[in-house]
Amino acid sequence: MAKKIVLTGATGTIGKKLYKALIKKGYEVTIFTRSLVKGVQTIPGADEFIEWDYRKKNHWQEHIDGKDAVIHLAGANLFSRRWNEEYKKEIFDSRQISTRNIVDAISKAKKKPEVFICASGINYYDDYVDDVITEEDKPGNDFLAKVCIMWENEAAEVEKLGVRRVSIRTGVVLAKDEGALKEMIMPYKFFIGGPLSTGRQWFPWIHIDDLVGIYLFALENKNLSGAVNAAAPDPVTMNTFSHTLGNVLRRPSFFHVPKFALRIILGEFGEIILKSHKVIPKKVLEEGFKFEYEDLEEALRKLLR
Residue type, 231: A
Give domain status of residue 63, yes or no: yes
Please report whether residue 17 resides in a domain. yes
Residue 264 is predicted with a pLDDT of 46
Task: Write out the residue range of the structural domain in which residue 101 sits.
Answer: 4-171+205-231+280-287
Rounded to the nearest 10°, the torsion over CA 164, 50, 98, 6 is 20
Q: Answer yes or no: is 85 within a domain.
A: yes
Residue 198: per-residue pLDDT? 84
Does some domain include residue 46? yes
What is the reported pLDDT for 39?
81
Domains of the chain: total: 1
pLDDT for the residue 50:
93
pLDDT of residue 270: 53
Q: Which residues of 155-177 are buried (b: 16+ CB within 10 A; e: fewer)?
A: bbbbeeeebbbbbbbbbbbbbee
Residue 193, in any domain of the structure: no
- Residue 117 forms part of a structural domain: yes
Predicted confidence pLDDT, tens digits, the chain (305 residues): 689 999 999 999 999 999 999 999 999 999 999 888 888 888 888 889 999 999 988 889 999 999 999 999 999 888 777 888 999 999 999 999 999 999 999 999 999 999 999 999 999 999 887 899 999 999 999 999 999 999 999 999 999 999 999 999 999 999 988 888 888 888 888 887 888 778 889 999 999 999 999 999 999 999 999 999 999 999 999 999 999 999 999 999 888 776 655 554 555 555 666 687 999 999 999 999 999 999 999 999 999 98
CB 169, CB 117: distance < 8 Å: no
CA 301 to CA 111: how far, in whole Å? 45
Can you give the CATH number for the domain in which 135 is found?
3.40.50.720
Q: Cα dihedral angle (153, 154, 160, 161), rounded to 10 degrees? A: -150
Helix boundaries (H) for the chain: 13-24, 36-42, 85-108, 143-156, 179-189, 208-220, 238-249, 259-266, 268-272, 282-286, 296-304
64: helix, coil or strand?
A: coil
Domain contains 199: no
Instruction: Output the furthest CA–CA distance in the chain (Å, rounded).
Output: 59
Query: Which is nearest to 274 in space by CA: 265, 282, 286, 262?
Result: 262
In-domain check, residue 184: no
| Rounded-to-integer distance, Cα 47 and Cα 57, Å | 22
